[in-house]
Amino acid sequence: MQNRRFVALATAHVITRLAFWMAFLGMMSLASFTLHSAASGTAFVLGALGAPFIVLAPFSGMLVDRSRARTTLASTYVVAGVLSIGLVHVTELWQLVAGAAFWGVSGTLIFPSLGAMLKRGLVREDQLPRANGIIQAGWEVTLIAGPALSGFLTKQFSAATPFYVSAALYAIGLAVLALVPSWPPSHDRRSSPGDLLQGVTILFRRPDLRAIALWGGIATAAFSAILAVEPVFVRDVLGGGPERLGLIYSFGGMGATAGALLAGSGRFGRRELAGIAGAFGLYGVAAIAYAGIAHWPAIIPAVMALQMGFSISITLTVILVQRRSPAEVVGRALAAQRGVEQCFDITGTLLGGLVAAAIGTRSTMLGSAAIVIVAALVLAARASRIDRAEGQLRPTAELQHAPLALERFD
pLDDT at residue 187, rounded to an integer: 53
Cα 45 from Cα 99, distance rounded (Å):
9
Q: Is the pLDDT of residue 115 over 90?
A: no
CATH says 4-179+195-400 is which class? mainly alpha
Q: Is the pLDDT of residue 186 over 80?
A: no
Q: Is the dihedral of CA 391, 397, 400, 402 positive or negative?
A: negative
Task: Specify the higher pLDDT residue, 212 or 333.
Answer: 212
Q: Is the pLDDT of residue 410 over 50?
A: no
Rounded to whole angstroms, the maximal C-alpha distance in the chain is 60
Listed ranges 145-154, 193-202, 224-233, 324-333; the one with the highest mean pLDDT: 224-233
Task: Specify the higher pLDDT residue, 103 or 128.
Answer: 103
pLDDT digits (tens, 9 = 90+) for 360-375: 889 999 999 999 999 9
DSSP 246-275: HHHHHHHHHHHHHHHHHHTTTTTTT-HHHH
pLDDT digits (tens, 9 = 90+) for 246-300: 788 888 888 888 888 888 777 777 778 889 999 999 999 999 999 999 888 899 9
The mean-pLDDT minimum among 97-111, 164-178, 288-302 falls in 97-111
Task: Specify the higher pLDDT residue, 305 or 3.
Answer: 305
pLDDT at residue 369, rounded to an integer: 93
Q: Is the pLDDT of residue 162 over 90?
A: no
Amino acid at 252: G
- Calculate mean pLDDT across residues 81-88: 86
Percent pLDDT > 90 in the chain is 12
Task: Specify the higher pLDDT residue, 278 or 161.
Answer: 278
- Calculate mean pLDDT across residues 214-235: 87
Cα 313 from Cα 234, distance rounded (Å):
25
Mean pLDDT for the chain overall: 78
pLDDT band at 185 (very low <50, low <70, confident <90, very high): low
Burial of 81 (0-12, 13-18, 19+ CB in 10 A): buried
Cα 317 from Cα 286, distance rounded (Å):
20
Helix 300-323 and helix 272-293, axial crossing angle in degrees, nearest 10: 160
Q: How many CB atoms are located within 10 Å of the residue 65 CB?
A: 28
pLDDT at residue 61, rounded to an integer: 65
Please state the separation of Cα 324 from the chain's center in Å: 19
Instruction: Provide φ and ψ at 284, rounded to 5°.
Output: -60, -45
- Calculate mean pLDDT across residues 7-14: 85
Burial of 171 (0-12, 13-18, 19+ CB in 10 A): middle
Listed ranges 35-49, 124-138, 176-190; the one with the highest mean pLDDT: 124-138
Q: Is the pLDDT of residue 40 over 70?
A: no
Cα 275 from Cα 260, distance rounded (Å):
12
pLDDT at residue 58, rounded to an integer: 63
